[in-house]
A and B are shown apart, each in its own frame.
Chain A
C-alpha cells in the first residue's frame, strides 16, 4: 500500500535518500545529519561535490526541514548557504533586476526597487505562507526546490527570468522556462548551486496580476495564475501567463496568452484563454479538490488575473 504523505502532499519524486526501507513511516522527528557552513560559493560547491548524493544545500529550510521531519528527505549532510556573503541582495543591472539566491521573501516585500520595477513579485511574495515563513524562506530555495506548489517558479517563467547556476564545471545561465523537468526534478546538476536570478524588468506601465486561490493563510495554491501584459489602446499588445500548482511543473500558458493578444479582453476571448489554459493543466486530486475543480478554478484565476492586469496598466 502506498502510504499517504502525512502532510497531504505528494512525496517529492527526487528526494534522493528516502527512509531506509522506503515504506511507511509516521514521524515528525528528523534523522541525524551533519551540518556544514561554507564561507564561499566555491567552498559550498566543493563540499556538495565531495559529499555527493547525500548532501543538500540548506537555504531558509522552510521546504527542506519539513520534509526532513517527515523523513521524506534524509540528507546526511546539510550545506548551509547562510555563511556565504554576496548571495543576498537585490540590485538593478541595466534592464534586469538581479536577485541573490539567499534573498528572503520578506526582503522582496521590503524592497522599493522590486515594488517599483517588478511589482508582481511583491504581490506574489505576499501570498506565500505567513510572515514567519517569509522571514526565513529564500527566493533561491523557492525556485530551486522544484515544488509545483511554490509560487515563484511560474512567476519567473512569466517574467522570462534566468537562473545563474554555479557548479564544479563553472557557471551557467538557464532560463526559468527550461529549468523545471518534473515535480522536484530540475536542471540543477549534482554539486550545483543557484546563486542568483535575473529578471528582465517589464516595460513601464505594464499590467500585472497574480491570482491565487488558497484555502487559508499558509496553504499552497489550489490553482494560481500570473499575468504580465501591455496594452495598445484598448487591445492587448503583449501577454504572458504562468500557472502554479496545476501540473507537476509550473506552466507557461502560451495558447491562453495568444487567445487574448489583439483582443480587448471581451467575454469570448477571456473564455478562450481560460479554456486554453485548462487544456494544459493536469493537477492531482487532493484535499483542495478533485481534478475537475482545480482545473475549473485554474481557468477562473486566469480570467481574473487578465482582467485585473488589464485594469492596472498605466
Chain B
C-alpha cells in the first residue's frame, strides 16, 4: 500500500453514512427557491376551483342558487352535492370508519363547511363566482361544548346516522356518540383505587389546535378521457393510500390512477387524510375535461381541514404515601367534530392513547374513551405525533406533577421512583404494549445533572420567598417532562389502514457505475429523507450517499407504502431500506466470491467492499461489484443488482426523552419568558445528528406554540375565532426560545439498525414541559392544574384567581 491509500477512517467518512452530519441534499433546491410544490404545477388549460363555505355551524341548506354565479365571466361550473350524487360521491368514507359529506347534503355541520365548488378559468373568477352563489340556510341550534353533546336534549347532528345503534367501533350510546373504547382491567384498577393511600383526580384538557403547515392542502387533478386515466398531484403524506382510496370510492381501476406528491411544505398530520377539495377537483376535471387546481388558503386550512387534539382527560392516579404509583384510571371525552375523520390505524379509534401509562411501572390501569360529535370541523389528526400519543404524554406528565404536588415530593424524584427499570425491558404495560427498550434513570439523571436541577429548585425557593415579601412580581417554574413515545405503526398484527397492513417498502437498483436509485413508500414533507435514506444505504452497502438518488411520492414508480406520519418512516421504511440493502449486499457477496475466486464464506465485509479473510490485498469494492453485476455474474445468476423489501415490523419502537423548561412569569401582565429549555432525546441509533437536531428544534417550537397559545377556538355560537395567523399563535424566530439538545442512545433491539424515530418526540415531550413549567410556577399560590393554552391573559387570569393580582 502506498501513502495515497485512504485510511479506514477516510473510507468510512467518504461514504457519509449513518452517524454523519451530512448536509441536507434537498436544501440545495429549497434554499434557492427551486423546489417543486403542487402550486408550481401548471398544466395546459388548467382551471381553478374554490369553495362556497357555510357561515353557520349548524343549519339546513334550503336552496343553492348558482344562476348568477354562472354569469360571472370565467366561471364554468358550480358543483354541489346534487352534482356529486350523479357519480355517487356526495359522501366519502373516512379513515375512521365514518362517512363524511364532500359537499353539504341537506345540512351543514360546521362553520366553513364546503357547500359548493366553483370552477373557473382563474382563481379570481372562481372567487367572484363564490360571491354570487346564493345559499339559503335555516339555522339550527349549534352544539359546541363536547360535555353537552350527550345531553338528552342535545341537538341531533348526524341525521344520516338515525337509528344506527352501532358504528365502526361498536355500540353508540347517544345520537351524538361515535364510539366507546376501553382498555385495561377495570376491576383490578378499581380495587387499587379502593386500597390507595393517596389519590389524585383532575380533568386535564388538551385543547383543539391545528398542524398548520406552511404549505396548505392542495391538488391538481387531471382526467384524460381518452385513456380513462386520472392524474393527481397533491400534498399527500400517504400518496399510495390516497390512490387506493380514490380507486375504491371513484371505482376507477387502480393502475389508471397516478398519484404524485411533489415537494411538500410541511405536513404534520394535516396531509394524511382525504379532503373534499380532492374529490371536487377530480370530479370537476371529469366534468370539464380540463385539469383543475384546488389550493386552500390559510383561513380554509385552519378552519376546515384536519384539526388536532381536543381531548378532555379525566385522570386519576392511585399511589402509596411514599409515592409509588399503584393504579391509573383515565376517561377521555374526545371531541371529533362533525364527522369522525381521525387518521388512526383503522382498529384504533383513539389511536395509541393507551400508551398513557407513560414511563412508569403502573401495576394496573384502565382507560375509557368516548368519541362525540359536535358542530366543529372534522379531523383529529396526529399533529407531529404518533396517533394520540401527545395527548397521552401530556395527560400522564401533568398528572404525575399533580401527584408530586399532593405528596409534597419533587416531580423529578417521583418520576425516578416510578420509572420502568432498564432490566424490566421488554416491558409489558398494564394497557397492553410491549416496550422494546429504555434506560429512563440514566436519561433523567443526565438531564438533572446537566441543567443543575437542584440549584434551579433552590433558586425557585428563594424567588418564591422574595415574591411573598413583595420584592418581585415574577414567579419561576420548572417544567419536568419525561415522555415515552410509541411510534412506527405498525405491525400487521395490529395495524392497518382500511385493511392495508401498515408495512413500508424500499426498492434499490444499483447501476453499473456504482451509483443507484432508491425508492420508498414514504414521503418526506421536510424530514430530509433524500439525505438520511441514502445514509442508511451508504453504510449498509458501502456506496457513498452522494451516489444514491432517493425518490418518493410517485405511485407509478415507488413501491407501495403507507406513507410518512406518526414517526413511522425510520422505524418502518428505515428498516425496509436496511433489509433491501442487505439483499443487495448478499448478491454482491456472491459476485465478489466468483470474481475473487473464493467461497462466499471466505469473504468479510470491510466498509465499502468485500475482502478475503486473511488476505487483505484481495479486495473487491462495491463499486467494482456493481460493474461486474452487469457483465460477469456467476453462471446461473441473473444479471443486475436490484432488491425490494417490504418490511412488516415485529413491534413498535419506543423513543423517550427527558426535558426541562425553566420559565419566569410576570403575574401583572401574564407575560412569560422561557429562560431555558433542555431536551434530551433517546431515539436509538442516530442516523444524522444534524437532522435530529433540526427535527428537535422544529418540534419544540411547535410544542412551545401549542402550550403557550396555539388553539382553534370556537365561541359559544360556533364561530371559529382563530382563523388566521394574527390570532392562531405561530411563533416567529423572535418569540422562539433557545433550545439546548442532548441525547442518550438505547437502540431498538428489534429494528435492523436500532433506530427508533425522532421527528415527533419534541412535540410530544415539549408540550408537558411547557405546561408543567407554568403550573409549577403557580403551584405555590395554591393551584393544582391550569388548563392550556397558557397565553398572557390566561396567565394573568390564573394569577388573579389565585389572589396574586388585585
List A residues at the B interface (Cβ < 8 Å). 1-4, 6-9, 19-21, 23-32, 71, 130, 213, 215-220, 222, 286-290, 293, 296-297, 300
Asked if residues B793 and A24 are in contact (CB atoms below 8 Å), the reply is no
A95 and B690 alpha carbons, distance in the complex (Å): 58
- In the bound complex, how far is the Cα of B710 from the Cα of A287, in angstroms? 11
**Known contacts A30-B124, A289-B793, then 9 further A-B pairs from the complex at CB < 8 Å, ordered by chain A residue:** A1-B55, A7-B724, A7-B726, A24-B54, A31-B131, A217-B732, A287-B713, A287-B721, A287-B722
Nearest chain B CB to A131 CB, angstrom units = 11
Chain A contacts for B713, CB-based, 8 A: 287
> With an 8 A cutoff between CB atoms, is B671 at the interface?
yes
Cβ of A228 to closest chain B Cβ, rounded Å: 23
B163 to chain A, nearest CB (A): 31
**Residue on B nearest A289 in the bound complex, by CB:** B793
Contact: A24 with B724, CB < 8 Å?
Answer: no
The distance in angstroms between the C-alpha atoms of A288 and B805, with both chains bound, is: 19
List 7 contacting pairs A-B, 8 Å CB cutoff, sorted by A: A8-B723, A27-B50, A27-B131, A130-B732, A215-B709, A219-B726, A297-B796
Partner-binding segment picked from B145-153, B293-301, B375-383, B430-438: B293-301
Interface pair A29/B726, CB less than 8 Å apart: no
Complex: A93 Cα to B335 Cα, angstroms: 64
Q: What 0/1 pattern do residues 689 to 733 of B give for CB contact below 8 A with A?
A: 000000000000000000001000101010111111011011110
- Given known A27-B127, A71-B131, A290-B793, contact A4–B669 (CB-CB < 8 A): no
Q: A26-B112, A31-B128, A300-B668 are in contact. Are A8 and B726 (CB under 8 A)?
A: yes
Query: With A and B bound together, what is the CA distance between A74 and B311 in angstroms?
Result: 41
Q: Please, which residues of chain B bring their CB within 8 A of the CB of A24?
A: 53-55
Residues of chain A within 8 A (CB-CB) of B605 are none
Q: Taking A3-B55, A29-B123, A213-B669 as contacts, is the C-beta distance between A293 and B131 under 8 angstroms? A: no
Q: In the assembled complex, which residues on chain B have CB atoms less than 8 Å from the CB atom of A288?
A: 793
Contact between chains at A1 and B731 (CB < 8 Å): no
Tell which of B54, B721, B732 touches A4, judged by Cβ atoms closer than 8 Å.
B721
> Is A29's CB under 8 angstroms from B297's CB?
yes
Is the CB of B6 closer than 8 A to any CB of chain A? no
Q: Does B676 contact A (CB under 8 A)?
A: no
Q: Is the CB of A26 within 8 A of B724?
A: no
Bound CA–CA A213/B792 (angstroms): 10
> Are B139 and A26 in contact, with the CB atoms below 8 A?
no
What are the 8 A-B residue pairs with the smallest beta carbon separation, nearest first?
A: A289-B793, A24-B55, A8-B727, A28-B297, A287-B727, A29-B127, A293-B793, A4-B719
* B131 partner residues in chain A, CB cutoff 8 A: 19-21, 25, 27, 31, 71
The reply to whether the CB of B665 lies closer than 8 angstroms to some CB of chain A is no
Q: In the complex, are the beta carbons of A9 and B726 less than 8 A apart?
A: yes
Given A213-B669, A287-B727, A289-B792: A32 touches B299 (CB 8 Å cut-off): no
On whether the beta carbons of A222 and B722 are closer than 8 Å, the reply is no
* Cβ-defined contact, B297 with A1, below 8 A: no
| Of the residues A3, A26, A217, contact of B735 by C-beta under 8 Å | A217
Taking a contact as CB atoms under 8 Å apart, the answer to whether B124 and A216 are in contact is: no
With both chains docked as a complex, state the minimum distance between the C-beta of B499 and any C-beta of chain A, in angstroms: 36
The reply to whether B299 and A23 contact each other, CB–CB distance below 8 Å, is no
Report the Cα distance A213→B795, complex, angstroms.
Answer: 14
B177 interfacial by beta-carbon distance below 8 Å? no
Chain B residues closer than 8 Å to A218, beta-carbon distance: 726, 732
User: Smallest distance from the beta carbon of A25 to chain B beta carbons, Å?
Assistant: 6
> Is B719 a contact partner of A3 (Cβ separation < 8 A)?
yes
Residues of A within 8 A of B132 (CB): 20
Contact: A222 with B124, CB < 8 Å? no
Which residues from A are CB-within-8-Å of B128?
A: 31-32
**Total B residues in contact with A, Cβ cutoff 8 Å:** 50
- How far is B726's CA from A287's CA once the two chains are assembled, in angstroms? 9
CB closest residue in chain B, given A297: B669
Interface of B is mostly: loop
Q: When chains A and B are docked, how far (Å) is the Cα of A9 from the Cα of B727?
A: 9
Pick from B298, B709, B796: contact of A293, CB below 8 A: B796
Shortest CB–CB separation between residue A69 and chain B, in angstroms?
9
Chain B residues with CB under 8 Å of A296's CB are 796, 805
With CB as the reference atom, state the residue of chain A lying closest to B805.
A296
Instruction: Report B's interface with A, CB cutoff 8 A.
Output: 50-51, 53-56, 112, 123-124, 126-128, 130-132, 134, 139, 297-300, 303, 668-671, 709, 713, 715, 717, 719-724, 726-727, 729-732, 734-735, 791-793, 796-797, 805
Count chain A CB atoms within 10 A of each CB in B131, B300, B303, B730 and give the residue with the most.
B131
Who on chain A is nearest to B732 by CB?
A217
Q: A8-B721, A32-B128 are in contact. Are A1 and B139 (CB under 8 A)?
A: yes
Q: Which of B112, B297, B724, B726 has the most chain A CB within a 10 Å cutoff?
A: B726
A6 to B55 Cα, complex, angstroms = 11
State which of A6, A19, A290 has its C-beta within 8 Å of the C-beta of B723.
Answer: A6
In the assembly, what is the distance between CA of A9 and CA of B55, in Å? 17
Bound-complex Cα distance A220 to B797 (A): 21
Whole-angstrom CA separation of A312 from B720 in the bound complex: 44
Interface pair B797/A293, CB less than 8 Å apart: yes
Contacts of A293 in B (CB 8 A): 670, 793, 796-797
A219 cross-chain contacts in B, Cβ below 8 A:
726
Cα(A217)–Cα(B732), bound, Å: 7
Residues of A within 8 A of B721 (CB): 4, 8, 286-287
- Return chain B residues, CB-CB under 8 Å to A222: 792-793
Complex CA gap A293/B729 in Å reads 19
Distance (whole angstroms) from the CB of B59 to the closest CB of chain A: 9
For residue A8, which residue of chain B has the nearest CB?
B727
CB–CB A215/B797 < 8 A: no
Among B724, B793, B797, find the residue whose CB has the most chain A CB atoms closer than 10 A.
B793
Given known pairs A4-B719, A6-B724, A20-B131, the reply for A32 and B124 (CB within 8 Å) is yes
* Residues in B whose Cβ lies below 8 Å from that of A220: 726
* Closest Cβ neighbor of A20 among chain B residues: B131
CB neighbours (8 Å) of A29 from chain B are 50, 123-124, 126-127, 297
| Chain A residues in 8 Å Cβ range of B134 | 21
Give Cα A29 to B792, complex, Å: 33
**Distance, CA A89 to CA B763, complexed state (A):** 48
Q: Do the beta carbons of A215 and B729 come within 8 Å of each other?
A: yes
Residues of A within 8 A of B299 (CB): 6, 26, 28
| Residue among B134, B139, B727 with the highest chain A CB neighbour number at 10 A | B727
Bound CA–CA A218/B734 (angstroms): 10
Q: How far is the CA of A282 from the CA of B134 in the complex (A)?
A: 37
Which residues of chain A have C-beta atoms less than 8 A from B723's C-beta? 4, 6-8
Q: Least Cβ distance of A105 to chain B in Å?
A: 17
Q: Which of A26, A27, A297 has the most CB of B within 10 A?
A: A26
Query: Chain B residues near A287 (CB, 8 Å)?
Result: 713, 721-722, 727
- Once the chains are docked, how many angstroms separate the CA of A8 from the CA of B723? 7
Give the complex CA separation of A21 and B55 in angstroms: 13
Smallest CB separation, B227 vs chain A (Å): 33
Residues from chain A with a CB closer than 8 A to the CB of B303 are 26
Instruction: Name the one of B56, B112, B668, B732 contacting A1, with C-beta atoms under 8 angstroms.
Output: B56
Measured between beta carbons, the chain B residues less than 8 angstroms from A215 are 709, 729, 791-792
Given the complex of chains A and B, what is the CA–CA distance between A152 and B233 in angstroms?
A: 46
B262 to A: closest C-beta gap in Å: 23
For residue B735, which residues in chain A have a CB less than 8 angstroms away from its CB?
A: 216-217
Cβ contacts under 8 Å, A3 to chain B: 55, 719
Q: How far is the CA of A237 from the CA of B707 in the complex (A)?
A: 46
Residues of chain A with a CB closer than 8 A to B797's CB = 293
The answer on a CB contact under 8 Å between B734 and A217 is yes
With a cutoff of 8 Å between Cβ atoms, the chain B residues found around residue A297 in the complex are 668-669, 796
Tell me the nearest residue of chain B to A293, going by C-beta.
Answer: B793
Determine if A213 and B671 form an interchain contact, defined as CB atoms under 8 angstroms apart: yes
Is there contact, CB below 8 Å, between A26 and B791? no
Name the A residues within 8 Å of B720 (CB-CB).
4
- In Å, the complex CA distance between A290 and B55 comes to 24
Contacts of A8 in B (CB 8 A): 721-724, 726-727
Contact residues in B for A20 (Cβ distance below 8 Å): 131-132
Cα separation A293 to B669 with both chains bound (whole Å): 8
CA distance A49 to B671 in the complex (A): 48
For the complex, give the distance between the alpha carbons of A19 and B299 in Å: 18
